[in-house]
Amino acid sequence: MKRPPFGAAFSFSQALLHRAAFWYKGTLHQQRSLQMKIGFMGLGIMGAPMCRNILARGHELTVFNRTASKAEPLREAGAVVAATPAELAEASDVVVTMVTDHGAVDGLLFGGKGALRALRGKTFVNMSTVLPEYSRLLAHRLEENGTRFVDAPVSGSSTAAEKAGLIILAGGDLELVDSLEPLFGAVGCKTVHCGETGQGSMMKLANNLVLSVMLQGVAEGMRFGIEGNLDRETIMEVLLSGPMASQLLEFKKTMLVQSEFPAQFPLKDMAKDVNLIAETTGNLPLEFPCATAAGIQFNHAVSLGFGEEDCAAIFKLL
């Protein structure tokens, strides 16, 4: 077999290099086009690790937190720290909140030096857990301001937030939700479009209703076995070996066996969520007895001072 002449081989190599350079430039352009100017407000147990993951994806990030010291580690990591919500919104194309409740969201948007005016023509994403009705009312108010809105609470604890393993529960226009994938992909492993505005919030409450009831069931089952002189580790081994096995049990097994509950999802936040569930069920035509029981138990646990511990500390009530 004859080898091609040197000139032909050289031309072929040049063509390959040209294609490689074209591909690299195209890929680089695509990566840059996916980069976003993101403003993030709320740097607590969930927000701080989410921001680190946003920075890791190369997005421009501006942050704000009412307790300013919480923003310093992110400043050192490359984020810009805004002095006010308004300043943050001015610097961003997409603004995110991840805060405790709707009162905190309102304060950041509509309070003194709030973000609202600077959000005109931009997108606001609330990832906090709030009432579905609040999300719908907020969407209407933002629409009047010329602001696009998606409610996008998450499923997952601080551990999932650290690993960019959150499930994004998005409500709103599908095209708008899809356009936010560079953001959602930075903090989560899956985005679920739950329907129109408010349905992301509804899905979050449905998810946490199941979570609250499961936690109470596991706690009672563990206590039942312990009172019958079964070993804690043996109980957990059986639960994890059979049809009761779940990610939840896997995540909480060490806490329940050792009776130590460092917060991944604080119990006070679980109590807040079951209260939102109770408020939502009041507008529905059915009764939800398990949700009612969970509400009683989690609120009682908060009253006994367990609120800063993990939600699995519901076990301590028994």
Q: List, in order of start, the domains of the chain with CATH numbers.
A: 35-196 (3.40.50.720), 203-317 (1.10.1040.10)
Residues 51, 183: Cα–Cα separation, whole Å: 10
What is the model's pLDDT at position 34?
78
**Nearest 10 degrees: Cα torsion 152, 158, 163, 165:** -40
**Nearest 10 degrees: Cα torsion 121, 127, 130, 134:** 10
Residues 147, 54: Cα–Cα separation, whole Å: 22
What is the model's pLDDT at position 111?
94
Amino acid identity, position 62 = T
Residues belonging to the chain: 318
Q: What is the pTM of this model?
A: 0.88
Active site residue 70: no
What is the model's pLDDT at position 26?
45
Mean pLDDT in consecutive groups of 10 residues from the start of the chain, 318 residues: 51 52 43 80 98 98 96 98 98 98 98 97 99 98 98 97 98 98 98 99 98 97 97 97 95 96 97 98 94 97 98 96
Residues 162, 188: Cα–Cα separation, whole Å: 10
Residues 266, 274: Cα–Cα separation, whole Å: 13
What is the model's pLDDT at position 154?
99
Q: Using CB atoms within 10 Å of the CB of residue 206, give its burial: 0 to 12 exposed, 13 to 18 middle, 19+ buried.
A: middle
Contact criterion met (CB below 8 Å) for 29 and 142 = no
Contact criterion met (CB below 8 Å) for 166 and 156 = yes
CA nearest to 42, candidates 130, 121, 118: 130
Amino acid identity, position 164 = A
Catalytic residue among 204, 252, 253, 272: 204
DSSP 8-class letter at 126: E
Residues 79, 27: Cα–Cα separation, whole Å: 25
